[in-house]
Amino acid sequence: MKGQKNLAKDTRKKQKHSRRETLSNAIMCGPITVWTVLFIILPVALLVFMSFLTKGPLGRIEYKFTLANYAEIFNPAYVNVVKESLLIAFWTTLITVLLGYPLAMVISKLKKKTSGIVTIAIMLPLWVSGLIITYSLVIMLNASGTVNTILMHLGLIKKPLQLLYNSFAVIVGMVYMFMPFAVLPMYSSIEKMDPGLLEASADLGASPAKTFFKVQLPLTSPGIFAAVILTFIPCIGYYMIADMLGGGKSMLIGNLIYRQFTVSRNWPFGAALSVVLAAIILIMVRIYTKLGGSMDDLA
């Protein structure tokens, strides 16, 4: 009898503790859950819902279900925009990774204090307004800008080069803006690598080039994958640089979406483009994880 009472008492204590734990978890997770639902899930759901609606007169939205918005994306003009976006994102990512990987290697070989200072210097563009950075690039690349002036004084050119308002200027701006996003994950991956493996490879007779391609590159591939994702995805929709440095000649998906919501007042089509852009991003992340990348590296 006494054992049953103790058992019942223990059961009540466990139930009470479980209720307290559940309440505590609800209090801790409640705010972030509400935030996620209100500002992530609902906006995305609204965007998907809007993409199936019809544009009415004067930009009004008519609640008539249609697939015409998605069919319109296959218009040759819009297909070219997608192609140009992917092409600029590809070249930006390639150049950024090729320039960023040696820089990450150099930083990893520095003393801890020095590497910290250099890392802060690399992160400086993230602390400055993108608008200010873009205007500074306009000043540097225009016909009377810094680059052309230096080249002409050195006698390398006789007349200013057309460095601004083209795809070249857009790629330069993208590379500058997204270099920190490529360098930091690659530096983190290189720093975590065991240097003893490189020494073992050299002791076994491997040349420095073979050690790099057979040992170091595979071991640091998660950082490279993360750099590719963190560079490629923002490039597709980063419309501000394309507008200011491309002079309207380079149209990215982000520019097209922005104009549909502002100039054309065609919100359903803009929503459909946004959904397609989100799908491209999800596909890229899926490929990244399939190739062995970790979502923790993206954080």
Domain limits, the chain: 2-50, 76-298
pLDDT for the residue numbered 96 = 96
The tokens describing 194, both together, are: 């065991």
Asked whether the beta carbons of 83 and 251 are under 8 A apart, the reply is: no
The β-bridge partners of 55 are 61
Band (3; pLDDT cuts 50, 70, 90): low
**What number is the average pLDDT over the span 260-278?**
91
Per-residue pLDDT tens for 58-95?
778 899 999 999 999 899 989 898 898 889 999 999 99
Nearest to 173 by CA among 239, 256, 100: 239
222 pLDDT exceeds 60?
Answer: yes
CATH topology for 76-298 is MetI-like fold (1.10.3720)
Mean pLDDT highest for which of 24-33, 127-136, 156-165? 156-165
- Across all residues in the chain, what is the average pLDDT? 85
Is the pLDDT score of 138 beyond 80?
Answer: yes
Task: Give the whole-angstrom CA distance, residue 281 versus residue 275.
Answer: 10
Task: Evaluate if residue 7 carries a pLDDT over 60.
Answer: no
Q: Quick one: pLDDT band at residue 293, thresholds 50, 70, 90?
A: low
Report the 3 state secondary structure along the chain: CHHHHHHHHHHHHHHHHHHHHHHHHHHHHHHHHHHHHHHHHHHHHHHHHHCCCEECHHHCEECCCCCHHHHHCCCHHHHHHHHHHHHHHHHHHHHHHHHHHHHHHHHHHCCHHHHHHHHHHHHHHHHCCHHHHHHHHHHHHCCCCHHHHHHHHCCCCCCCCCCCCCHHHHHHHHHHHHHHHHHHHHHHHHHHCCHHHHHHHHHCCCCHHHHHHHHHHHHCHHHHHHHHHHHHHHHHHCHHHHHHHHCCCCCCHHHHHHHHHHCCCCHHHHHHHHHHHHHHHHHHHHHHHHCCCCHHHHC
pLDDT, tens digit (0-9, with 9 covering 90-100), for 15-27:
666 666 666 666 7
Does the pLDDT at position 247 exceed 60? yes
* Dist CA 61 CA 64 (whole Å): 9
94-98, 136-140, 153-157, 276-280: which has the highest mean pLDDT? 94-98
Averaged pLDDT for residues 26-31: 72
Residue 204 has a pLDDT of 86
The pLDDT value recorded for residue 13 is 63
Q: How confident is the model at residue 5 (pLDDT cuts 50, 70, 90)?
A: low
Tell me the average pLDDT across 189-205: 87
Residue 295's pLDDT is what?
A: 62
Residue 68 pLDDT: 92
pLDDT of residue 237: 80
Res. 287: pLDDT tops 90: no
Residue 242 near residue 252, CB atoms below 8 Å = yes
